[in-house]
Amino acid sequence: MEALVGATFNLHHKLRARELTAARPGASTHRSRRFYESVFPTETVDHVTVPDDANVMRFTDDGRYLICVSRNQRELVVYRYVGGRGGGSKRVAPAGRIPAESGPAAHADDGAGTPGGDTAGGDAAGDDASGDDDDPRRRAEDAFAAYFEHVFSRPLVVDDADLLSKDFALTVLDGDYVIVASSTQPEVRTDGDEGRG
C-alpha cells in the first residue's frame, strides 16, 4: 500500500496510510515530507508590508498568534491571525446584504419572500466590478492588516541599555506564556580597572 500511496497526490489516501501503517525506523521525516506534497497554497501575496513598529519573530505553536518585537527592540507586539474569514476584509457589507464567501453578493430575505435591501444601487453581480483589485488581501500594503489584527503591545525592557533579542522566542504551556531574551552591551573597561582583581 505504501508504494501506491507515494504515487498519488490524493490527501485522503495519504492520511489513511499514515493512520494504518507505521513508518520504518528513521523514515518518519521522509514520510512527513511526502504527506505535505499534497498541500498547496490557494493564494500567495508577495512583498507584504509589515507595520513599521514590528519585526516578525515567529508564530505560536497553535498558529493563532504572530509574535513580534518592536523596531526599537523594547516591546513585545502580538497579532492575532484572522485571515480567511469573510475574505479577510474589515469592510462591512451594505445594508440588507449577507457577505458571500465567493460568487455574486447574496441578498437578505425581508421575510415576505422578496429580496430586501438596496434596490437603487444596481445589480448584485455588477457591484464588484473591480475584481481582485479591490481585495485587500491582494494589495501588499493592506495584506498584513487583512490577515492580522493587533492584540497588544507590552514594554518588557526596563533598562535603556537592554534590547530584546529578535531571534529568540519560546512559547510554553500550549502558548500561554512566551519566553524572550534580552541582551545588554558589555561594559567598557577603563585602564584603571585592569590592575584590580
Quote the percentage of the chain above a pLDDT of 70. 57
Same domain, 78 and 142: yes
Per-residue b or e along 31-55, where b marks 16 or more CB atoms closer than 10 Å to that residue's CB: beebeeeeeeeeeebeebeeeeebe
Q: Is residue 151 part of a domain?
A: yes
Q: Is residue 129 part of a domain?
A: yes
Alpha-helical regions (H) of 21-161? 28-35, 140-147
Same domain, 60 and 27: no
Q: Is residue 46 part of a domain?
A: no
Decide if pLDDT at 67 tops 50: yes
**What is the grid cell recorded at 128?**
464588484
**What is the grid cell recorded at 84?**
480567511
Q: Is residue 195 part of a domain?
A: no
> Are 3 and 17 within 8 A, CB to CB?
no
Q: Is residue 72 part of a domain?
A: yes
pTM equals 0.51
Task: Kindly report the average pLDDT of the chain as a whole number.
Answer: 67
Residue 24 confidence (pLDDT): 73
pLDDT, mean of residues 50-55 = 81
Residue 144 confidence (pLDDT): 81
Q: Whats the size of the chain, residue-wise?
A: 197
Same domain, 69 and 165: yes
Residue 76 confidence (pLDDT): 86
Decide if pLDDT at 97 tops 80: no
Q: Is residue 43 part of a domain?
A: no
Same domain, 141 and 182: yes
How many C-beta atoms lie closer than 10 Å to residue 180's C-beta?
A: 16
Same domain, 98 and 130: yes
Same domain, 143 and 179: yes
Residue 151 confidence (pLDDT): 92
Cα–Cα nearest to 151, from 91, 75, 88? 75
Q: Is residue 156 part of a domain?
A: yes
Same domain, 14 and 104: no
Same domain, 72 and 31: no
Decide if pLDDT at 70 tops 80: yes
> Are 89 and 136 within 8 A, CB to CB?
yes
Tally of domains in the chain: 3
Range of the domain at 7: 2-38
Same domain, 78 and 147: yes
Same domain, 174 and 142: yes
Q: Cell 485522503 sits at which residue?
A: 12
Same domain, 145 and 128: no
Question: Phi, psi at residue 63, to the nearest 5°?
Answer: 80, 5
Tens-digit pLDDT profile for residues 110-152: 444 444 444 444 444 444 444 455 665 566 667 788 888 999 8
Q: Is residue 31 part of a domain?
A: yes
Residue 185 confidence (pLDDT): 75
**What is the grid cell recorded at 27?**
523514515
Same domain, 178 and 81: yes
Residue 80 confidence (pLDDT): 92
Q: Cell 504515487 sits at which residue?
A: 7
- Type of residue found at 133: D
Residue 37 confidence (pLDDT): 73
Classify the C-alpha dihedral 140-145-151-155 as positive or negative: positive
Kindly indicate the confidence band of residue 91, based on its pLDDT and cuts at 50, 70 and 90. Answer: very low
